Structure 1
């Protein structure tokens, strides 16, 4: 993969904005959670991206949360090159989506490998924590509990009964009148008319 040069102008502004969204405290919590799940050590002398960019740690994490979801040939652990690393990451992303993480929470392979959008990597991993907690696979102070979807079935009688009900947001047309309303497009007087045209004799 070609080395990216420095960014200028609008590209630089976008890059700096993405970096500003990155949370170092969340990174540390994610490091701890991943280490607890996988038993792998994420060295502190390496950046979070450097620990994850070959995809081996991510594949190990997914194999712990949902065994058998990764393709059999993954992860690549030997003769690593950019293509094999990105294939590991892509396999992780596919398994994460099947695990239940929404598409909007996923990151692009280049976001991690090129370290171009690590804040989105955090979003994806936090969503993965949420799903793992909701499935009872892991416990962590990270993320939130995702409630299971509940499908409700309504009978035809219940559906028909609701057709005659006017919702509160719809209001009511009972007693509706345009009396006293200013016609659309007409001007409104700047002052109120206080006199009928005849002056009081006492004035």
Structure 2
């Protein structure tokens, strides 16, 4: 990837707006969760956006994280570090594919360049938060951390009704439909044309 110089004008305003969405408090929670989830082998970065980015940039920490959330067979086999840019970006892409397989929606996903080039680290935080929320919600015993760090996602509340209950429900007029008291069709002109003067 080529290095880009400083941005000016509208490009600068857009990048400043993207950068303002980064949450330092959420960074602390995510770092604490990832280090608990992956053990102390992954280390811990100094506080700050660029240190957070450098910690995750090679994809090894992300690989360890996603592997720790899957019970049984791990989705990512190789987690060793590489100094080659395309290998690091490939590892980030593999993490994103595994996260989608785990259940993170595409709208919650960051792009590889958002992390690798530090274009949108708030999007990285959003993806990791969604992953944490899924881990808390699934409750498979793989989540290591405080359950209050992430929101629990809504779960399906499926109901099974018998045929008799379904038939009885068809005869009930809901209150949303209102009432027909006082309703008439008087004054309606069906089929007649009005005369325009």
- Deviation, structure 1 residue 101: 1.8
CA positional deviation for 1:178? 9.1
Match of residue 56 from structure 1: 60
CA RMSD, aligned part only?
A: 2.3
CA positional deviation for 1:177: 5.9
Number of aligned residues = 177
Counterpart CA distance in 2 for 1:171 and 1:17 is 48
Residues 89 and 112, structure 2, Cα contact 8 Å, conserved in 1? yes
What is residue 3 of structure 1 aligned with on the other side?
3
Structure 2 residue aligned with 1:162, among 169, 172, 175?
Answer: 169
Instruction: For 2:104 and 2:60, locate their aligned partners in 1 and report how far apart those are by CA, in whole Å.
Output: 20
1:95-174 pair list within 5 angstroms: 95-134=98-137, 135=139, 136-138=141-143, 139-140=145-146, 141-174=148-181
Provide the TM-score with structure 2 as the length reference.
0.79
1:43 aligned partner: 45
In 2, Cα distance between equivalents of 1:122 and 1:32: 13
Q: Distance in 2 between matches of 1:157 and 1:117?
A: 55
Higher relative contact order (CA closer than 8 Å, sequence separation 6+): 2
Partner of 1:187: none
| Counterpart position of 1:82 | 85
* Counterpart secondary structure, 2:100: helix
The CA distance in 2 between the partners of 1:7 and 1:169, in whole Å, is: 55
Look up the SS of the partner of 1:47 in the other structure: helix
The aligned counterpart of 1:29 is: 29
List per-residue Cα deviations over 1:93-124 (Å, max 9, x = no partner).
11111112222211111111111111111111
CA displacement, residues 145-200 of structure 1 (integer Å, 9 cap, x when unaligned) = 23542322333443333333333233223213699xxxxxxxxxxxxxxxxxxxxx
For structure 1, the residue ranges without an aligned partner over 5 or more in a row are: 180-203
Measure the CA separation in 2 of the matches of 1:26 and 1:119: 10
Deviation at 1:20, TM superposition (A): 1.0
Output the TM-score relative to the length of structure 1: 0.76
